[in-house]
Structure formats: structure tokens, C-alpha cells
């Protein structure tokens, strides 16, 4: 999430009650989580395991609970006891929850020729392009951007909060939700089936590329990037911060894990599981997903195990 205007790191330190060390003239442009952080951003870290990764990231300002770390040249650190709580305070300050009690918010912008059917909810600052069709009971939540000639079938939810939690076992609620301040971008000519859910980015963008088609009951996790002209069959589930390149086909009930990449024009056959990145221009099957030809030969040998075992025992 970018701030409306850059703010001084010293001002940010005052907001969250932190001690500033390092570059005290730094101007901070936004806040991001570690998977999406870029130059000018502030990012938080509260576990020694990730100190080094965070300090070496593209982020210029780091909220941290250890003041003894070596500060990279040009960066600033904001030292406080609870970096996660500091993150929540920054999000609440720059993007507080703003309810809209109207079915179509006054701040929404809807393009010429677009049809919004009865029962659809359009949130604050939503932008919908030209000649799109939003079917009944669709929910498009705050700040989402929908392109031209997009079709969204009934019951789909665009822009729900990320399934993203900070875990601490020394507090009554072990799992505390990391507030989402990102949004969703649906590019032109996308078709989305009924009952789909597309989570907003935690701090950045979940993006569906132009010409992509989603069947019913597809879930897209936070900060995922879907390329152009992809096709996902029913009950596909994709975890957060994943990259699906152009032309990928995922058949029914394929499950894709987080922070991986599926290469251009790959095909993953039904009920397969993808725990790690896959090269493009190949067909995959099974769990863990492997090239379909190899997996099928493996299954043939698995079926022959009883026969082989009997021969050995005889």
C-alpha cells in the first residue's frame, strides 16, 4: 500500500512509539509485507529467523524488535517491542475501515454499458470498466478495479481479506489477523464463474490477467498474480503470493501451494497437487505434481507390486 504522500521515518516512529536508528532523513512511501516489499517501503519483522531477510530486502525502513542488528547503509530501523502491532497501527491510520451501507457506494465508478444486477454489492472506491456484467449477489469490496467486458457470475466475492495471520502462542488468541490494505485488479475480458472467492493483497495487489476464465468455486489467495488467457476449472484453489504465468490450464480440484511459480502454458490435470514451482509448456499430474507421462508409468508399476511380491514369495 502506498501512502497518499511520503512521510518522514521520524514521523512514522512517533506514530508507533518506536526508536529510530539509521537514516533519520528517510522519506517512506508505503508499507508492504516481505513478499511484496519494494524500495521506499516500510516492512516489519518480529522473529530472529527473518531478521537478515528483512534487512537485506528492498525495503528502506524496517520495524524490528531488536536494536542491536547491523543497519544497512541508507536504511532506517524503527525499534519497538511489538512490530506486528505497529504494522496494524500504520494500516489503521492510513486505511481505516470505512463501512458503506449502500448497495453501490457513492464513490464507486461504473463504466458505460456495464450492467449491475439486483443484489450486487459494490464497495467504496471500486472502479468497473465498460460493458461488464455483474450478476446478482456478487460482492466487490473496497478499492477493487474491474476492467472492460468482464463477466462475474452470481455469488462471487472479489476483495475479501487475506487468510494471513500472525502467530504468537503467548497470547489468548494464537492467531491474529494481519489486516489487509491491498486490493484486487481484474483485467479486461476476464470471466469469473459462480461462487468464486478472490482475496485482496495483504499490502499489494492480487491480479487476474486479461482473457482468463475461472469456473465455479475457484479460490485465489492474496497477492497472487494470474497471467493472461489462463483457464481454471471448478474447485481449483491457489494459495497466496503465487505466480501463474500466461496460458496456464488448471483442471478441476487442482491445489496450488504458496509463493511458487507455474510457467507459461503449463497444464495441470485434475486433482493434482502443486507444492513447488513447475516449468512451462509441460503437462503435469498427481501429488506431488510431476510430468504426466512419468507419473502414469509410475502408477503402472505401483499396480504391479502385488504381482511382483507374489513372484518373490513363491
Walk along the chain (314 residues) and give the pLDDT tens digit of each residue.
Answer: 999 999 999 999 999 999 999 999 999 999 998 888 999 999 999 989 999 999 999 999 999 999 999 999 999 999 999 999 999 999 999 999 999 999 999 999 999 999 999 999 999 999 999 999 999 999 999 999 999 999 999 999 999 999 999 888 888 889 999 999 999 999 999 999 999 999 999 999 999 999 999 999 999 999 999 999 999 999 999 999 999 999 999 999 999 999 999 999 999 999 999 999 999 999 999 999 999 999 888 888 888 888 878 777 77
pLDDT for 84: 94
CA 221 to chain centre: 5
pLDDT for 311: 78
- How many helices (H) and strands (E) are present in the chain, helices listed first? 5, 34
pLDDT for 170: 83
Cα separation of 229 and 231, whole Å? Answer: 7
CB 224 within 8 A of CB 238: yes
Q: Which of 135, 183, 219, 222 is catalytic?
A: 222
Buried/exposed 222-260: b ≥16 CB within 10 Å, e otherwise: bbbbbbbbbbbbbbbbbbbbbbbbbbbbbbbebbbbeeb
Q: Is 135 a catalytic residue?
A: no
Domains and CATH numbers, the chain: 2-94 (3.40.1390.10), 109-297 (2.160.10.10)
The DSSP-derived string for 67-101 is TTSPPPTT-EEEE-S-HHHHHHHHHHHHS------
Q: DSSP 3-state assignment of 273?
A: strand
pLDDT for 298: 84
pLDDT for 144: 98
Length of the chain: 314
Q: DSSP 3-state assignment of 194?
A: coil
pLDDT for 169: 83
Using only the alpha carbons of the chain, give its radius of gyration. 23
CA 93 to chain centre: 22
pTM comes to: 0.92
pLDDT for 278: 98
Amino acid at each position: 500500500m502506498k501512502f497518499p504522500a511520503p512521510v518522514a521515518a521520524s514521523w512514522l516512529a512517533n506514530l508507533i512509539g518506536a526508536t529510530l536508528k539509521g537514516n533519520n532523513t528517510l522519506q517512506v512511501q508505503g508499507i508492504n509485507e516481505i513478499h511484496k516489499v519494494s524500495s521506499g517501503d516500510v516492512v516489519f519483522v518480529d522473529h530472529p529467523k527473518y531478521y537478515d531477510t528483512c534487512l537485506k530486502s528492498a525495503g528502506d525502513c524496517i520495524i524490528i524488535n531488536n536494536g542491536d542488528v547491523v543497519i544497512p547503509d541508507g536504511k532506517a530501523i524503527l525499534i519497538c517491542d511489538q512490530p506486528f502491532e505497529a504494522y496494524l497501527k500504520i494500516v489503521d491510520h492510513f486505511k481505516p475501515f470505512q463501512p458503506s451501507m449502500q448497495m453501490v457506494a457513492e464513490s464507486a465508478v461504473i463504466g458505460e454499458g456495464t450492467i449491475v444486477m439486483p443484489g450486487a454489492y459494490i464497495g467504496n472506491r471500486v472502479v468497473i470498466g465498460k460493458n461488464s456484467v455483474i450478476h446478482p449477489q456478487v460482492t466487490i469490496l473496497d478499492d477493487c478495479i474491474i476492467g472492460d467486458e468482464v463477466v462475474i457470475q452470481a455469488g462471487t466475492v472479489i476483495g475479501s481479506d487475506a487468510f494471513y495471520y500472525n502467530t504468537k502462542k503467548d497470547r489468548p488468541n494464537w492467531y491474529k489477523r494481519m489486516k489487509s490494505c491491498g486490493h484486487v485488479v481484474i483485467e479486461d475480458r476476464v470471466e469469473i464463474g459462480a461462487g468464486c472467492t478472490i482475496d485482496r493483497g495483504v499490502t499489494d495487489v492480487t491480479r487476474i490477467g486479461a482473457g482468463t476464465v475461472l469456473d465455479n468455486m475457484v479460490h485465489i489467495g492474496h497477492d497472487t498474480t494470474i497471467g493472461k488467457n489462463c483457464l481454471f476449472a471448478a474447485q481449483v484453489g491457489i494459495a497466496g503470493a503465487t505466480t501463474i504465468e500466461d496460458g496456464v490450464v488448471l483442471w478441476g480440484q487442482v491445489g496450488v501451494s504458496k509463493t511458487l511459480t507455474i510457467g507459461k502454458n503449463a497444464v495441470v490435470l485434475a486433482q493434482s497437487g502443486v507444492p513447488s514451482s513447475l516449468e512451462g509448456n509441460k503437462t503435469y499430474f498427481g501429488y506431488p505434481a510431476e510430468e504426466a507421462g512419468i507419473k502414469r508409468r509410475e502408477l503402472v508399476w505401483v499396480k504391479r507390486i502385488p504381482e511382483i511380491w507374489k513372484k518373490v514369495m513363491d
